[in-house]
Amino acid sequence: MTHFPPLDGLIAGRLEAVLRKPAAQQPVWPDPDRARDAVAALSRAEPIVAPEETARLARRLAAVARGEAFLLQGGDCAETFAGGTEAHQRGNLRTLTGMAAVLVQRAGLPVVRVARMAGQYAKPRSQAVDALGLPVYRGDMVNSAESTPAARTPDPGRMLRAHACAARTMGLVRAFCRGGAAGSEIYVSHEALLLDYERTQLRVDTSGPEPRLSSGLGHFLWIGERTRRLDGAHLAFAELLSNPIGVKIGPSTTPEQAVEYVRRLDPHGEPGRVTLVSRMGHARVRDVLPPIVEKVAASGSQVIWQCDPMHGNTYVSANGYKTRHLRQMVDEIAGFFEVHRRLGTHPGGIHVEMTGDDVTECLGGAPAVAEEHLPARYETACDPRLNARQAMGLACSVAEMVTASRT
């Protein structure tokens, strides 16, 4: 792959204007000169993904938006430099493909597989400071999870390490796809959060209805619940991209906001260009989602409706672990399917945090993980993930829902 050429003047100007908008959840680099050097070095590095691959994913996602396929997205909450071993990543890919196989075999719908991988190194956080009074961990791309002031100081050199890890991971994904067991396509995705990272490796893409920028950092990028403000830099940045874009929408999202996200990100009405990822929580999905779906559908846009059953169902267990219960996740997905069935729209996919490792981070499943098991193998760098058995169980439940929704 070649280096990305410089952006042409018009687009470079638009990018600079976007980066001057308010941007939530960004670290303050202690040494701005080092940060500038890191951004410059990243701009000269090899891209992680090729634009042709991203364009192929866009075609696959158009089929999802038309109701002809299902989007399965999943992987670690936060990738880490030390945890990104070949065994761990292969385990995650095997679990993702296992879930996809269950869906294909039982529900009879093609499945588009997108891993949270090769770039998921930055995390938005609820608080700026942790219980010990230290700056909070923001993902290995920014600082270290270790509890010392030095480790938590943002270090721009970490963006280069993240990029190198992402490149190595992408090599592994490609090898896995070529291998006999998988033998097909897996795309990579991450949250477009850290703008100093995301602003690099952009290539002018003139293949669409207007010139946009193809990011070489991942096939599918999404904007998170905490950075989706309409006047903010993240959404404006996503508008410049030709990559398929997701927007996480939590329970405070209004139907008007949802329509505005779609109008801004998909001005040309391209099916599957936008994925609205609802993460409402099991108790609220049946009330909050319908007016959003109705208004977006009435606008005529062909978005993908995807359910993230993780982030609206997080709570702290009695023994002090951030966790989620599989039963509540299944209930949120069931609510999501009920809403789409009633409104005649396609429940297009799910987005989960999971791993092939035998962790004890989420509750439930068979054999069940109970609260007293959480300390045994609670290994996530941020939010609790489904282990392989729980993920496969969830895939079986979802396959039944897909089948029922098509009869």
385 is a site residue for ligand PEP (CB under 6 A): no
Interface pick for ligand PEP out of 60, 90, 311, 385 (rule CB under 6 A): 311
How far CA 335 is from CA of 225, 279, 332, in Å, comes to 20, 11, 5
Could you give the CA distance from residue 290 to residue 377 in angstroms, rounded to a whole number? 38
Interface pick for ligand PEP out of 27, 67, 224, 335 (rule CB under 6 A): 224
Q: To which H or E segment does residue 212 belong? A: strand 212-215
Q: Which does 113 bind (CB under 5 to 8 A by kind): ligand E4P, ligand PEP, none?
A: none
382 is a site residue for ligand E4P (CB under 6 A): yes
106 is a site residue for ligand E4P (CB under 6 A): no
Residue 329 · residue 396 · CB < 8 Å: no
248 is a site residue for ligand PEP (CB under 6 A): yes
279 is a site residue for ligand PEP (CB under 6 A): yes
What is the distance between the terminal CA atoms of the chain, rounded to a whole angstrom? 46
Interface pick for ligand E4P out of 51, 124, 250, 348 (rule CB under 6 A): 124
What's the closest the beta carbon of residue 236 comes to ligand PEP, in angstroms?
A: 18
Residue 371 burial by Cβ neighbours in a 10 Å radius (0-12, 13-18, 19+)? middle
Residue of 358, 352, 342 whose CA lies nearest to 312:
352
The closest residue (CB) to ligand PEP is 224
340 is a site residue for ligand PEP (CB under 6 A): no
Using the minimum distance from each CB to ligand E4P, give the nearer residue, 131 or 366: 131
Residue 19 burial by Cβ neighbours in a 10 Å radius (0-12, 13-18, 19+)? middle
Render the burial of 247-278: b for 16+ CB within 10 Å, e for the rest.
bbbbbebebebbbebbeebbeeebbbbbbbbb
What's the closest the beta carbon of residue 1 comes to ligand PEP, in angstroms?
A: 27
What's the closest the beta carbon of residue 247 comes to ligand PEP, in angstroms?
A: 9
Q: Which does 341 bind (CB under 5 to 8 A by kind): ligand PEP, ligand E4P, none?
A: none
Binding region for ligand PEP (CB under 6 A) out of 15-23, 158-166, 218-226, 230-238: 218-226
Binding region for ligand PEP (CB under 6 A) out of 17-25, 220-228, 257-265, 398-406: 220-228
Q: Which does 289 bind (CB under 5 to 8 A by kind): ligand PEP, ligand E4P, none?
A: none
CB half-sphere exposure, 122, CA atoms < 13 A? 32
Interface pick for ligand E4P out of 215, 383, 387, 388 (rule CB under 6 A): 383
Q: To which H or E segment does residue 191 belong? A: strand 187-191
Could you give the CA distance from residue 264 to residue 261 in angstroms, rounded to a whole number? 5
Q: Which does 126 bind (CB under 5 to 8 A by kind): ligand E4P, ligand PEP, none?
A: ligand E4P
8-state DSSP, 368: T
155 is a site residue for ligand E4P (CB under 6 A): no
77 is a site residue for ligand E4P (CB under 6 A): yes
377 is a site residue for ligand E4P (CB under 6 A): no
111 is a site residue for ligand E4P (CB under 6 A): no
How far CA 47 is from CA of 171, 186, 263, 322, in Å, comes to 12, 17, 29, 35
156 is a site residue for ligand PEP (CB under 6 A): no
Query: For binding to ligand PEP (CB under 6 A), which residues are involved?
Result: 77, 124, 191, 224-226, 248, 279, 308, 311
